[in-house]
Amino acid sequence: MASLTLHRVFVYGTLKRGEPNHHVMTNTENGTAKFVGEGKTTESWPLVIASKYNIPFLLHCKGKGQLVIGEVYDVDDEKMKELDLLEEYPKFYNRIKIPVYILKDKDDDFGNDTDVLCWVYILEKFKPHLLELPFLSNYSSKGEHGLEFCIDATHPESADPMINLKNEIKEMA
């Protein structure tokens, strides 16, 4: 039986429509995700592309960076668990609530400039050099930056990219 609890989530990277991991949002085997609309953070955050895999990261450094454009979804408990697994919450990413403006709803109507609280996956305890990378406002894997997302599960080196990724990105306590 489907869960009745819905969680509002803001995605800014590879989970957005047209991006490499969007299938996670549309696959109903592990819960449901309903597209609410395009959104934009109400505060600036550093969104960077980092690691040899060119992964987009939202860094926990509110006030730096830019207003970030992404997508808002309502997800059930099962889908939230799937997202937590994908993002390795709480071991790799943290999940916090931030205010987000709805820019356009699912019917392409413009939002009403009210903000909603959304869960977002955010990187804490990151290496300081990440704050020296260019800050993005709107991620696209095939953007002008030329840094296409490249985790390939069929490639032997990518069998467990999180091991290498943690050493490259995270500040170990």
The domains of the chain, with CATH numbers, are 7-171 (3.10.490.10)
Q: Which of 87, 124, 157, 168 is catalytic?
A: 87
The SS3 assignment for 81 reads helix
The pair of structure tokens assigned to 98 is: 């931030």
pLDDT at 4: 78
Q: How does DSSP classify residue 20?
A: T
Asked if the model's pLDDT at residue 75 lies above 70, the reply is: yes
- In which band, very low, low, confident or very high, does the pLDDT at 74 lie, cut at 50, 70 and 90? very high
pLDDT at 154: 39
Average pLDDT of 45-62? 96
Alpha-carbon radius of gyration of the chain:
16
pLDDT at 153: 47
Average pLDDT of 109-133? 90
Task: Give the mean pLDDT of the chain.
Answer: 89
Neighbours of 116 (CB within 10 A): 18
pLDDT at 171: 77
43 belongs to the catalytic site: no
pLDDT at 170: 82
